[in-house]
Amino acid sequence: MVVLPLSCNEGTIGGDGLYAEAKIGLKSLFNRFHSESWSTYATICGAVMGWTRGTGLMHSSDMIAAEMEKLGVITFSRAEMAFNILALLSPAITALADETPVYADLTGGFGAMWNLKEHIAASRKAVAENLRLGVVLAEEEIHHEAALHGQQANPHAQEPEVRNKRANLNIGFPSIARQEDMMARLPGLQGMIDLSQTVVIVGFSELGPWGSSRTRWEMESQGQFSLEGYVEMAWMMGLIRHITGDLKGQPYVGWIDVVTSEPISDDEIPERYHQQIMENSGLRFVEPDALNTYDPSRMEFMHEVVIEDDLPPFESSKSAAEAFKLRHGDHVVVRPISDSDNYRVFMKKGAVVMVPKAIPFHPLVGGRVPKGWDPLRYGIPGDIVQEADPTTLYALCCVSEAFLFAGIKDPYQMYQYIQVSEVANCLGTGGGPMKTIQSMYRDRYLDRPVQGDIILDHFSNTMGAWVNMLLLSSSGPLRTHVGACATAIESLDSGCEAIKSGKCKVAIVGGCDDFGEEVAYEFAGIKATANTKEELAKGRLPGEFSRPTTSSRSGFAESAGCGVQIVMAADLALEMGLPIYGIVAYTQMASDQIGRSIPAPGKGILTAARESADARHSPLLDLEIRRAGFEREVAEIRQQAWDGQVSSTCQTESTICATEERMKSRLRDAQHRWANSIRLQDASISPLRAALATWALSIDDIGVVSSHGTSTRANELNEGEVINAQMNHLVRRRGNPLLCVCQKSVTGHPKAAAGAWQLNGCIQMFRDSIVPGNRNADNIDEQLRQFKHLVYPMDSMKVPDMKAIMLTSFGFGQKGALAVVVTPRYVFAAVPTATFEDYRTRVLQRQRTANVEFVARLLKNSLVQVKCDPPWKSAETMHSVFLNPDSRLAADDSFGSETPVKAPSPDSVGERSDVTAALVQSLLERVTQRSGATTSTSVGVDVEEIMSLHIENLNFLQRNFTPAERDYCSKAANPRSAFAGRWSAKEAVFKSFRVPSMGAGAAMQNIEILDESGNPSVKVCLAITQH
């Protein structure tokens, strides 16, 4: 259908050039529909637009729009008119256009107004009169003030105070609304989810071409830095530093320029350092590295040459001379030099020597960490910087920052809640410690100075070992994953698996890789990276080399860095009061079929959508059906537990605990069958659909996919085909666009860290409700049009209330990976209100203290705080900590058998109940006084902790509850809650009588709480009131 932009202004306004003629010409095209042949293959709609404010033509008349609307007509904003035109593309209108041309009057009444010019002139005159009147009144006010205060300046007028804008550096925690505000839009999940088997993200960080995750997100989502972004980048690149003390003899607190030592305010930083920051961050030309002799325009090789004539002698040490002789034999003659320990070496004809040569190669553009980045500035000690590989330094910075993102100032705080063996380190790498490997092989071969124990750092697992030795002091599993470009998601999958299997409760996951000439050269050799010479010849800048999904894409731009997430069981996150950034609902790794190509992208990850044709109609996908089944099973479990308690003649504390543990275990099994793992009941449901159904979501609730998007020909087609096939097979609703985010258009391809950066971006999409666009997408590949579910946006867009995001990653060597992340609101919907409110209070406090700590560490250059001692004080304590499953770190840094932050003591519970009861009692008394009730009115209030009632004590039940009450409570779904409710009611009734108590041991059987027809009533023995 063709929509013609017609107008009600066909000369009625005047003074607008050929505008009217152009619109009349379009109207004549509309009139030709029935008279010309093109009407057989096109439909037509004429949109007659009215007064639209803010356009180029009407901008000068915006001031009189309000006056014009007084005449009974309507003016439109640009967004309103755009919406009206889009409405013409709705199915109902397009169906009408199939029958006959549609003439849509969007004029708002202006189309019937012929004397429009006169009304406009009158409106302008009225507006001008109002302005003139306003000026006169203002002048009158000035004269009035002068008469009162004289001709001096107005005493009420003050010089505007000029303030420098300050950067609000902060971590960027997610907002935590009250539970009732979130529950209005969320399903009822309370009690159904096994939170110990639910993996959540509580911290994340990264280091890459655009700096941290915060600064990268600003460039990805907005295309520019904020004031805070400029300040952080300038600090990171060593352009500014913060001082607190003396500056040129004067006290000063603030930033100074590193070169000039001149003070600089926050709001001066963007203008002063913008060009320097932009030129030395992101995707850019790789500068020669004097330290590592790496010049990307001069790739060095060794050329073998056979000497055709004897060479002049040269002097060397005895050991070197002997080595020459050993290598070249008769082609080398060595002679001692008199009065010297050195030897003279003669190279003879036929000797073979290696002559260095250099050739240019095209990978001149890459995404290294910002120029000037220095691990010393993060607080890493100099000896560690000298010894460790850059990948290790990246990881140390990221892990430290991730803990701050989790609100944890000291990683040892974890050991107040868990045992030291319950923290896993799953950090992975694709290429390993590249600089160390280069030194160990190349520099050693060239006989350059090499660190004596360099072999210790060349193993891939050394990076994780350094993290544990310097930061964590954990005794949990150290899993080092190598999955090429899918390493980070493989690490995430492993961490989630470890938590769900009970092998740990916390996992550090992510990936890290460096940028090196050897890898860059080999990537260019297989034509995986963009050719710099060709791209420059086409007029493209370095930042435009990575163009995922475009028809002109020609390979990826390699980058380097690290990405880290801290994941843990949701129940532990709630107990510790940590921020929850997202729920890891599903992860999967997949290999592929028979083949001969290592880098070929595969389709094995399609298996995440494997399901039978009828599975999508399974009743298990209905939350209400599952809840009904779950509640029936829970009622049976509790009834059986109650029956066992009542029938047992000997109830000890140990048997009670054992019974409760068995009941909890059976409850967890029920949660798994009805929520966490519904495929246990119906394996025909796809893993992807089942994971979403846990949270009452469907395949239509995935709003965004963060795609691998490497900017290579093969990847985008394969990835689009895989995702689209999954959506088709799972019957995603047509017309529900799946937005594809291509992060590598901004960051380039960091190999191992790719999936971690994508996951960080997903977290930030949830937090800010922004889907970033691919600004390098100048022309989407026509071949991608076949994937009907996928949309590739160029501009960032606001998308509120995102529920789930899918992430895909593909690595060389048949590594396919997929993850689904759900917004954290769904965890909060699964917990009781009291639990959530307690969590909310503690997490907000954590966020406040963590933000202060983050800023303080950044200003003091101490983001990384290396540990010198383990959390235990002696070898004997270490043995007891390792061997005791209940060992926890106390507030005084000692280890005990119980955690000091566990459940409160009975005394504290009683005190809290008394305080609550007193508070409610006082509130009721105030209400009674305000309402004018008589003084004889008496209200009793009592608050009881459900778990504090000892219903396993039959003597207690017989003395305090009538047979009818015992029968009713024992048949309840939760007998303990029923008895607690009756007991609290009895106490409240007794308090309302205001008679002396007979002591804590007095029986309460004289007060009976009945439940007739669903309405509670009280029957009281007269003797109790007369006491």
1019: its two tokens: 């029957």
For residue 553, the one-letter residue type is: R
Compute how many other C-beta atoms are within 10 angstroms of the C-beta atom of residue 173: 19
Closest CA to 675 of 635, 637, 627: 627
Which residues have CB under 8 Å from 727's CB, separation 6+?
699, 738, 789
Are 315 and 263 contacting, i.e. CB atoms less than 8 angstroms apart?
no
Strand partners, 347: 332
What is the C-alpha to C-alpha distance for residues 402 and 259, in angstroms, rounded to an integer?
31
| Separation CA 38–CA 24 (nearest Å) | 20
d(C-alpha 733, C-alpha 189), whole Å = 25
Q: How far apart are CA 397 and CA 380, in angstroms?
A: 8
CA pair distance 769, 797, nearest whole angstrom: 9
**Residue 694 and residue 826 in contact, taking contact as beta carbons nearer than 8 Å:** no
Handedness of CA 5, 9, 11, 13 (dihedral sign): negative
Q: What distance in Å separates the CA atoms of residue 753 and residue 509, rounded to the nearest whole number?
A: 10
Compute the distance between CA of residue 544 and CA of residue 766 in angstroms, rounded to an integer.
27
CA angle (978 as vertex; 977, 984 as ends), nearest 5: 85
Nearest partner of 942 among 993, 1000, 986, judged by Cα? 986
Nearest CA-CA partner of 92 in 1, 188, 191 = 1
Block residue for tokens 């002068």:
146
3-class DSSP state for residue 50? Answer: coil
Q: Is residue 485 annotated as part of the catalytic site, yes or no?
A: yes
Return d(Cα 479, Cα 569) in angstroms, integer: 18
Specify whether the CB–CB gap between 572 and 505 falls below 8 A. Answer: yes
Q: Is 671 helix (H, G, I), strand (E, B) or coil?
A: helix
Q: Which stretches of 939-1021 are assigned E, i.e. beta strand?
A: 1007-1012, 1015-1020
Q: CB of 707 within 8 A of CB of 486?
A: no
CA pair distance 48, 30, nearest whole angstrom: 11
Helix, strand, coil share of the chain (percent; to 5): 45, 15, 40
- Per residue, the 3-state secondary structure of 104-149, as one string, reads EEECCCHHHCCCHHHHHHHHHHHHHHHHHHHHHHHHHHHHHHHHHH
Residue type, 796: S
Q: Please pick, among 458, 708, 729, 789, the residue that the annotation labels catalytic.
A: 708
3-state SS, residue 773: coil
- The pair of three-digit structure tokens given for residue 562, joined into one six-digit string: 């690290």
From the candidates 485, 504, 740, 969, give the one annotated as an active-site residue: 485
Active-site residue (options: 328, 331, 729, 749): 749
Q: Which residues are catalytic?
A: 485, 708, 749
